[in-house]
Structure 1
């Protein structure tokens, strides 16, 4: 029987994920560039990759790295905000590193695009750093304001490349560890062979597996995983 040595706890991360936790695979240069960004001035990075590729992990970890180096940092998830929240950008040009996640969510929104354009200008004037994440590469974003595209293109543009199965398995293990679990390798391999191929869906299944095991007071097993896969 394959199970964690302890029953899982409620679905909450136990610790913040750091750059050292990121399973880089072919993306070692991306991680190195973000580590450098977190400790420098007047730099910007546009990071893109599919859902589940680790963008949010990297942005959150960059904030931790910046604070460890004595700089201020702020993370903002744009998909959580509505049009009335454009004021959230006010004053952020005074922060050492600003990380903006889910740019896709506001691309094509005239109000947000104008606010972002002026914010980036203010941030550049203060010689601060910016890390922006998107599912789409810059030229494919439906931006209505060309000048915003030019501002976002000022710095590095980095793509997160797909992982092989060995790296995907390690990502699932790290995600489980962040929830206080130990994911047996056999269970992870079963998930990779029988589950969806995209990382976002795989990570969601690990979270559902943890939640189901906690609610039913059951260990993490292949039968439980098989049941969840059948319910998809």
Structure 2
């Protein structure tokens, strides 16, 4: 069943794939011998977080690849326009020079945006977290890997929760670090303006203190 889901991902939209995956895991969880609150945790916490991170990974990938592909096209076009510019006369010469400048600005801005928002790094981070959660879920369902020593899902559930929360916590820490990094970059790129207000002379300033006669 899972192989069929993986195979259909190449032929359908990611949203459809996530819905199929969600439905499949919900059905599987319902058949596990767990307490209702344990099943609720698996669907409301583990499955929800895994699907959310998978979706975020796809969004970050799309942003990263969209910007990078356009930057590659623009960068490759610059030498072509330079070569054409050498053989052109007015008014085409001015237009081509303008196009070269515009393409150069586009490449610079694109690279800055991609680096500022860390699309590539976030793509990797969300992808890694989603796959780790998925792996933990499959190992728990099959009682394999870390959970192979347990005979019942109820016995392994406590450790499953620890693993899931550990993965989520690490993801939050990475996201927080990226947010702080962007704030620092904003401060560096937009330094606070210096105040032009003149401070009042200090009463203890020696230059303003009259010496007694």
TM-score by length of 1: 0.20
- The structure number with the bigger radius of gyration is 2
* Structure with the larger strand share: 1
* Structure with the larger helix share: 2
Which one scores higher on RCO, CA 8 angstroms, separation ≥ 6? 1
